[in-house]
């Protein structure tokens, strides 16, 4: 059964929905990979409504929310913001901070739709590269990003619960 998913620019007032889907998708993606207590603590901090409210109020950030009827129930989202990655050039780069979808909404083109929003926003903001960090063990995400034209650019450590995990930093050249 095909589900119609609306993607719209998020606004102040959406921070609770963004927090909810952020926590749910992080738990869904990393349960069984990361320590459960560490996941809960990470979600409490990194996916708090105040974090999303910060991005919603930041002129250099852009956030989209994907939802389904009835009532635009949140099923995914996208955050583009100033880069905080190794090798990033804040004058020319933007970072795809978050792009998450609940599992049952993956594989139908919605991730690609969200990514297209990020690319269009970055190009419109004058960025020459779109960067992202992805867990090195998330082979499905790595394959998705490669298929969309991203290339391995650098590596970093991402700490959750006091444990460091390897991330790949990937880049997409814009304006070509």
What does each of the 176 residues of the chain score in pLDDT, given as a tens digit?
457 899 999 999 999 999 999 999 999 999 998 899 999 999 999 999 999 999 999 998 999 999 998 888 999 999 999 999 999 999 999 999 999 999 999 989 999 999 999 999 999 999 999 999 999 999 999 999 999 999 999 999 989 988 899 999 999 999 86
Q: Where are the domains of the chain?
A: 5-173
CA distance 66 to 24: 14
Peptide bond before residue 70 is cis, with ω within 30 degrees of 0 = yes
Per-residue confidence (pLDDT) for residue 4, from 0 to 100 = 84
Q: Which of 172, 168, 101 is nearest to 138 (CA)?
A: 168
Structure token digits, residue 69:
């009827």
Helices marked H in the chain: 15-30, 36-46, 49-57, 110-124, 139-147
Beta-ladder partners of 98 = 79
Q: Which CATH number fits domain 5-173: 3.40.640.10, 3.40.50.11890, 3.40.630.30, 3.90.1150.10?
A: 3.40.630.30
Backbone angles phi, psi at 125, to 5 degrees: -85, 0
Give the pLDDT confidence score for residue 175 in this predicted structure: 83
Q: What is d(CA 160, CA 47) in angstroms, rounded to the nearest whole number? A: 13
Structure tokens at 152: 């391995």
Query: How, if at all, do strands 93-101 and 129-135 pair?
Result: parallel
Give residue-wise pLDDT tens across range 17-60.
999 999 999 999 999 988 999 999 999 999 999 999 999 999 98
Q: Which residues pair with 25 in a beta bridge?
A: none
């Amino acid at each position: 059964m095909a589900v119609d998913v609306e993607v719209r620019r998020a606004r102040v007032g959406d921070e609770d929905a963004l927090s909810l889907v952020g926590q749910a998708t992080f738990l869904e993606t990393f349960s069984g990979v990361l320590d459960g207590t560490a996941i809960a603590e990470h979600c409490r901090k990194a996916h708090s409504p105040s974090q999303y409210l910060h991005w919603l109020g930041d002129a250099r950030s852009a956030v989209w929310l994907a939802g389904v009827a009835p009532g635009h129930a949140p099923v995914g989202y996208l955050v583009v913001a100033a880069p905080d990655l190794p090798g990033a050039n804040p004058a020319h780069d933007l970072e795809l901070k978050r792009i998450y979808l609940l599992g049952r909404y993956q594989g139908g083109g919605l991730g690609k739709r969200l990514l297209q929003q990020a690319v269009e926003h970055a190009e419109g903001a004058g960025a020459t590269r779109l960067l992202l960090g992805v867990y090195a063990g998330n082979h499905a995400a790595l394959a998705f990003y490669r298929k969309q034209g991203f290339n391995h650019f650098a590596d970093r450590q991402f700490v959750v619960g006091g444990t460091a995990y390897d991330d790949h930093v990937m880049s997409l050249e814009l304006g070509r």
